[in-house]
Structure 1
């Protein structure tokens, strides 16, 4: 015979009474495995089975949802998702019951009917390939963050040298560093952040802004490169051309801010998904994908024009061993520059179809800082001279 505790609650309106029965051992019979889900997950009973009924009341549907606070009988796993379920006669189902609040000891269920209830926790079983991708993501992003730090330090030293145009690249590195660092930390501690809805919402808005800022600075870098090649200048060394740095910052940081403010104003509940990112409901994700698609398309078109202009200029030069050497170096720099301006992000629209493609997408885009440091710091003669000059003055002091 099941051990149970029974209690009754008299409702203020009318003469109805709610009877609660707590079955302490019924969970060993009506197990969590009887809760069927699409994904393969480990399921655990998080509470005793609780029965709520309205004696002498034929209508079981409530005019408004009732909140029931249920105590946990086991520790809540950080990655676990708790569901309020009820017994429909053959299985545990969630129809009509939702989780409104939860903490380490209790969960509040909001139900539109009375029945036999329980709490079931699901912990996803990540595929081995996902675990490998998560590990690869941590490693590659950490390496990229290290080189972004070196690039920021190097460009900061060259700010006062007129021959080095580093404003766009410096701000691109700063935006990339903040976006990738916050994204990595959020995903690493998502189980701690997710229960705090406001924090999750704010972080998703910050990430939206930072990643949009990255793409705007990539567009500005492409426009600067196009302007350089159009003027038939040496792409390795440029004078300060184009708009003032303040105007660039207004575009690089102001345009993303305008997009985020408008998006939040139109659909404020679009931020704060389960992964603390943008919700896919009602197409809100296009507040990010729309600007990104436009920028990637513009960068691709400008990059093709740049290749045509360079090919025309090179075809008019006399061929020699020195020419061939410079041509190979130029091809290498063009390929690296295509990564810096974000063209590999186009692969993101095809990820999921191939594991190899997912790896290529992750490695290339996490290493933008590495390629920026390699091309515009290590292989840039003016930057090297400025760096060693600063180091020499430091040793002299």
Structure 2
């Protein structure tokens, strides 16, 4: 009985691993397309889109590393990066860095949104130097500090079970702080929106609910949904623990899809630009096709006239 239970647990873990890997690959594809759209269309360039692009890039780096680190388990290759201790540690450090950068840019998203809707701390121009320090610089400093301490205090090859070490709080504590602050930003934004609606005599319940729903959409974008993973059930609660593991495997891997859908594919401004581009493309193709048909008909006419001897080019002038 114990042997059967162990096999079931191994099979369950393998299924979750495959789901995580597949969903991460799909997220990466969505994010690459999103970054291309944000970069290709010049009319979309603004401070808000620039922040979105950095957030998308942090997700892209994160999912690339996930795919690289999980690929040996999927392909079942005999040799992988895990056989080289220093390379395995480098990948581990880079993954921690991308996770921290990911949450840092979510914090920048929340800070920028809160500044625009709630409290105007910055001028009209977004302070991108500060944003780059928060999004890319601080995670690099924290991750480097963690890696140096791990090298001194962890003798395990490839820092196995590093998530169980107390040093992991060097990584997780700043992430938790950013999530709590983003949660406070969101609550304050909802409060201010409802206050403004009431001030303009728009206290209809339906309109307030619509506003709250539109703002709650920001939950996955600001990373607040990750707070759910702190509520880990007891290991003895079998079905509840399995549900937790499923959610913990699917939601993080789907974050890239959420960001791509909500920031890009469901954004009215982006959809409008894509529709205009598509309309111009079809119009140019239509004109090009029409011009080719006209050229073809003209060429056919002159060819037929030439063959019948009626072409002006073939007529001789008779002297009077």
TM-score over 0.5 (shorter chain):
yes
Residue in 2 aligned with 1:342? 223
| Contact 2:28 2:63 (8 Å CA) reproduced | yes
Shift of 1:347: 1.9
Question: CA, structure 1 residues 269+192, in 2 after alignment: closer, same or farther (shift >3 Å)?
Answer: farther
Cα displacement string for residues 215-251 of structure 1 (whole angstroms, at most 9, x for unaligned residues): 100000011111122169xxxxxxx945343442232
Shift of 1:285: 1.0
| Contact 2:47 2:126 (8 Å CA) reproduced | no
Greater strand share, structure number: 1
Shift of 1:181: 2.4
Tell me which of 69, 83, 108 is aligned to 1:186.
69
| Contact 1:179 1:211 (8 Å CA) reproduced | yes
Tell me the C-alpha RMSD between the 2 structures: 3.5
Question: CA, structure 1 residues 245+271, in 2 after alignment: closer, same or farther (shift >3 Å)?
Answer: farther
Residue in 2 aligned with 1:210? 98
The two structures have a TM-score, normalised by structure 2, of 0.71
| Contact 2:194 2:208 (8 Å CA) reproduced | no
Does 2:88 align with 1:200? yes
Question: CA, structure 1 residues 352+386, in 2 after alignment: closer, same or farther (shift >3 Å)?
Answer: same
The two structures have a TM-score, normalised by structure 1, of 0.58
Does 2:263 align with 1:382? no
Residue in 1 aligned with 2:147? 264
Output aligned runs, 1:205-354, within 5 Å.
205-230=93-118, 241-269=124-152, 279-280=162-163, 283-319=166-202, 324=206, 327=208, 329-351=210-232, 353=234, 354=240
| Contact 1:230 1:309 (8 Å CA) reproduced | yes
| Contact 1:151 1:369 (8 Å CA) reproduced | no
Cα displacement string for residues 168-216 of structure 1 (whole angstroms, at most 9, x for unaligned residues): 1111111112112212320231562222111101101111111110010
Residue in 2 aligned with 1:359? 246
The 2-side partners of 1:277 and 1:227 are apart by 42
Q: Give aligned pairs, total.
A: 269
The 1-side partners of 2:165 and 2:262 are apart by 42
Greater alpha carbon shift after TM alignment, 353-362 vs 167-176: 353-362
Structure 1: state its 5+ residue gaps: 1-38, 42-122, 233-239
Structure 2: state its 5+ residue gaps: 74-78, 235-239, 286-320
Question: CA, structure 1 residues 312+187, in 2 after alignment: closer, same or farther (shift >3 Å)?
Answer: same
Higher relative contact order (CA 8 A, sep 6+): 2
Greater helix share, structure number: 2
Shift of 1:308: 1.4
Shift of 1:394: 5.9
